């Protein structure tokens, strides 16, 4: 069973774990009214035509995240659910620019997440780190300021900042604009990852590797359009963090069976399965694993391979990786 294998979740937007009941609870604590009568009315809006239509609601809903406490409540709920899904290690994305524009500082965000990460370690034995994502549809100088602010906040608080990422609306926003920011992040010792090849073309994947020095590609399912690029990803062991339920709910494919999941595995790519924005896309890591198992008839040893891939693809310390690999059949 999936839950018995130790999985690393490497593509998880913590703001995308904000469930409607939590949105209502936080708004009530803050004495703020929401434009919906009940969580069910909000949940009924979770039908998306594409990535931008999802992002609109995603950014609107995160308006209830204002204090350290709010970020800790959000991440506590995620870790409890992730533990039930069999997640042993998480590298969670956060979008600091989406919070600083509302006056919420990078320090507040990182402190809240750090509290929840410490608790998850103590309660569940889950290890975790933070990847701060650049919003690619915003100006470069804003990304530069975000990087400075998260580095300073991590330095002050000791929050486990692992890396820099690239997310938000992809089409029309090629990776190369942020080469300078990613260079500086690497000099500061951060890992580099980037969303590419979700709605955008395979070329964006190549650009993320060549101009940003990306060590992992988030989504990346469109690489199959470019066999030379596939060969390079296989040769360089660059992982893809695939998010099956997300691809269906954002209409990248109409049905899960249309995902080229077998083709990616058969090409020898380092494929991992992840949940992206589970509160919005119909399921956490266990649900995503069950969905691909159902659609592609994965055998037990293929499921173990996905768990092994997730450990290899993670930025966990070597000792932690060895421990997790030791739990695999
Ligand atoms: N893609 C790009 N940006 C995002 C996503 C996603 O699925 N979720 C949150 N920000
Ligand atoms: Zn994502």
Instruction: Judge whether 167 and 136 are in contact, CB under 8 Å.
Output: yes
> Which of 194, 276, 280 to mutate to test ligand 1, by most ligand atoms within 8 A of the CB atom?
276
Question: Burial code of 186-201, b = ≥16 C-beta within 10 A, e = fewer?
Answer: beeebbbbbbbbbbbb
Query: Which pLDDT does position 156 carry in this prediction?
Result: 98
Distance CA 117, CA 325 (A): 22
Task: Please state, rounded to an integer, the average pLDDT across all residues of the chain.
Answer: 97
Q: Residue range 91-108: average pLDDT?
A: 98
- How many angstroms separate the alpha carbon of residue 31 from the centre of ligand 2? 31
Residue 198 appears among annotated catalytic residues: yes
Q: Residue range 259-286: average pLDDT?
A: 98
- How many angstroms separate the alpha carbon of residue 167 from the centre of ligand 1? 6
195 Cβ inside 6 Å of ligand 1: yes
Of 314, 289, 311, residue with least CA distance to 300:
289
Please identify which of the residues 19, 198, 207, 215 carries the catalytic annotation. Answer: 198
Q: What pTM did the predictor assign? A: 0.98
Q: How far is CA 285 from CA 72, 91, 198, 234, 289, in A?
A: 20, 13, 19, 24, 6
Distance CA 194, CA 215 (A): 8
Query: Which pLDDT does position 4 carry in this prediction?
Result: 83
Q: Is the pLDDT of residue 1 over 90?
A: no
Query: What are the residue ranges spanned by the domains of the chain?
Result: 2-326
Helix 285-296, helix 300-313: angle, nearest 10 = 140
Q: For residue range 179-231, what is the model confidence (pLDDT) as tens digits? A: 999 999 999 999 999 999 999 999 999 999 999 999 999 999 999 999 999 99
Residue 88 has phi, psi (to 5 degrees) of -105, -25
Closest ligand to Cα 199:
1
Query: Which pLDDT does position 3 carry in this prediction?
Result: 46
Query: In a 3-state reduction of DSSP, which class is residue 216?
Result: strand
Q: For residue range 3-51, what is the model confidence (pLDDT) as tens digits? A: 489 999 999 999 999 999 999 999 999 999 999 999 999 999 999 999 9
112 Cβ inside 6 Å of ligand 1: no
Q: For residue range 240-254, what is the model confidence (pLDDT) as tens digits? A: 999 999 999 999 999
2: pLDDT confidence band, cut at 50, 70 and 90? very low
Q: For the chain, give the percent of residues with pLDDT over 90.
A: 99
Q: Name the more confident of 3 and 271.
A: 271
Query: Which pLDDT does position 280 carry in this prediction?
Result: 98
Instruction: Judge whether 230 and 269 are in contact, CB under 8 Å.
Output: yes
288 Cβ inside 6 Å of ligand 1: no
Q: Which CATH superfamily is domain 2-326 in?
A: Metal-dependent hydrolases (3.20.20.140)
Structure tokens at 319: 């000792």
H or E element, residue 210: helix 202-212
HEC per residue, 54-93: HHHHHHHHHHHCCCHHHHHHHHHHHHHHHHHHCEEEEEEE
């Amino acid at each position: 069973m999936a839950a018995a294998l130790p999985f690393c979740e490497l593509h998880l937007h913590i703001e995308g774990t904000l469930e409607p009941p939590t949105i209502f609870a936080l708004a009530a604590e803050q004495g703020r009214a929401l434009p919906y009568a009940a969580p069910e009315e909000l949940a009924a809006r979770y039908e998306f035509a594409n990535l931008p239509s999802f992002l609109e609601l995603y950014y609107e809903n995160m308006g209830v995240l204002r204090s350290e406490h709010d970020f800790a409540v959000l991440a506590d709920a995620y870790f409890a659910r992730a533990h039930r899904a069999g997640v042993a290690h998480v590298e969670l994305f956060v979008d600091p620019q989406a919070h600083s524009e509302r006056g919420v500082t990078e320090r507040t965000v990182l402190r809240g997440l750090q509290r929840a990460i410490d608790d998850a370690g103590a309660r569940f034995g889950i290890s975790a780190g933070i990847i701060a994502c650049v919003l690619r549809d915003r100006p470069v100088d804003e990304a530069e300021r975000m990087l400075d602010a998260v580095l300073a906040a991590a330095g002050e608080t000791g929050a486990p900042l692992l890396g820099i990422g690239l997310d938000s609306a992809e089409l029309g926003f090629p990776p190369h604009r942020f080469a300078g920011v990613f260079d500086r992040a690497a000099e500061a010792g951060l890992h580099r990852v980037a969303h590419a090849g979700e709605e955008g073309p395979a070329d964006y994947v190549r650009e993320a590797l060549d101009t940003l020095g990306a060590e992992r590609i988030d989504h990346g399912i469109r690489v199959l359009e470019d066999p030379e690029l596939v060969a390079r990803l296989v040769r360089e062991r660059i992982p893809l963090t695939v998010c099956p339920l997300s691809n269906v709910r954002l209409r990248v494919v109409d049905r899960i069976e249309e995902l080229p999941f077998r083709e990616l595995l058969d090409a020898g790519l380092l494929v991992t399965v992840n949940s992206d924005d589970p509160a919005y896309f119909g399921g956490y890591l266990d649900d995503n694993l069950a969905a691909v198992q159902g659609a592609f008839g994965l055998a037990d040893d293929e499921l173990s391979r996905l768990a092994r891939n997730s450990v290899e693809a993670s930025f966990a310390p070597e000792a932690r990786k060895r421990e997790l690999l030791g739990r695999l059949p």
